Amino acid sequence: MKVRIDDSCTACGLCVETCPEVFQMGDEIAEVVVEGVPPQFEDAAQQAAEECPVEAIEVE
């Protein structure tokens, strides 16, 4: 699984709270900190994508 954050991110931090192993806050938007999501964090990363208020997280 791979995740990507697009430019519509508002830096609310919800993804970082939900899955800090995959997301961190950058200067202006959240960032993905892993190339591929480790299997043990896939559910949390998917949850972060579903809960993103602006749907800025794309899951592949």
Residue-wise pLDDT tens digits, 5-32: 999 999 999 999 999 999 999 999 999 9
CA-CA distance, 42 to 11, in Å (whole number)?
21
User: Would you say the pTM of this structure is higher than 0.85?
Assistant: yes
Closest by Cα among 46, 43, 39 to 3: 46
Domains plus CATH for the chain? Answer: 3-59 (3.30.70.20)
Match 């591929």 to its residue by tokens: 36
Determine whether 5 is exposed, middle or buried from the number of CB atoms within 10 Å of its CB (0-12, 13-18, 19+). Answer: buried
